[in-house]
Structure 1
């Protein structure tokens, strides 16, 4: 069982042509999930990310811009959290690479669209507790239909398509 109090997803979004600050960042909770563990490594599993748990970190919570950005990200142009309240990841393959490193392939579902992604991770087992962490990796938000206003609008071009993500998981064996 994944420990939701010790697991999270970090996100970064990037503005392309705008002057000034070019990055927003924050976290999302990993609310529920399981990992299949054999010989101190992950062999399978799945987890859900409630989009309502989105936190913006680069704008102080007391500033109006924080709530405005959160509302913008949860609306229909991006996550559409009212219609699709969760993002889901289901592991389809784990390949050992070097040392504690693995390549985790799985199906990521956002906005009702499922795409296969492969994520590098470091997996460690200590005292019956498994930790898995990823370096920052990137997905293209447009692959899941996250387009600002419309796919071909100038507003959409001001926001780079890459989302930077990193994941930290903890689970008890």
Structure 2
């Protein structure tokens, strides 16, 4: 029995590891205590047109949905490059999109994501992202590092940002990356025969107005 159990567990473990959603993993380190103080033009986040789209995978499939960006700002330098900023995320707004028409399972999944198994939203209703460094900035994009706080845990992540519009009135940008949920204390493994992948994909659309 032991000889059979070990290969089965190994297959399940490898399936969970290799079934991460598509996306380049953000470089993750400990929280950076130094914050940047930059000068430039401030644009306020347009919450109506800003969103985080998430994808979580498991052995048998995946789920997708959204969570709302609530408020924040970005700073554009005098030479028209991204220089700094921050935003907050309303964790109560977690929604699933792939179970439309199946309200029972949709509500069950959303409530589970908000529970202590995942993001512990009752104790941590707000998540934040604060830029700590901007490298290789051009008018079209940059490599951004910032402190991401989820579930009361803060880690510094680095990922590329594509700037799609940058005028004297408005700013829009996109980012697409994965994080390892366990770095933020999300340890729930899922069912034994349907393990959840460690990585979550985030596709961020950020819109801001001057």
Common fold by TM > 0.5? yes
TM-score bucket (shorter structure): 0.7 to 0.9
In structure 1, the gaps of 5 or more residues are none
Residues 2-52 of structure 1 deviation map (CA, whole Å, 9 limit, x = unaligned): 000010000000002x3xxx1100011100101111132221111110111
The offset of 1:111, in angstroms, is 1.0
Query: Equivalences for 1:60-71 in 2 at 5 Å?
Result: 60=100, 62-71=102-111
In structure 2, the gaps of 5 or more residues are 1-43
TM-score, with length taken from structure 1: 0.88
| Aligned partner of residue 188 in structure 2, secondary structure | coil
| Aligned partner of residue 116 in structure 1, secondary structure | strand
Equivalent in 65, 69, 79 of residue 30 of structure 1: 69
Task: Tell me the number of residue pairs that the alignment of Structure 1 and Structure 2 aligns.
Answer: 165
Moved more, 59-68 or 101-110: 59-68
- Give the whole-Å Cα distance in 1 for the aligned partners of 2:208 and 2:73: 8
| Aligned partner of residue 30 in structure 1, secondary structure | strand
Check conservation: 2:51, 2:204, Cα contact below 8 A. Answer: yes
- Give the whole-Å Cα distance in 1 for the aligned partners of 2:128 and 2:145: 13
| Aligned partner of residue 5 in structure 1, secondary structure | helix
TM-score, with length taken from structure 2: 0.73
- Give the whole-Å Cα distance in 2 for the aligned partners of 1:2 and 1:138: 23
**What is residue 42 of structure 1 aligned with on the other side?**
82
Q: Does 2:141 align with 1:101?
A: yes
- Give the whole-Å Cα distance in 2 for the aligned partners of 1:122 and 1:40: 14
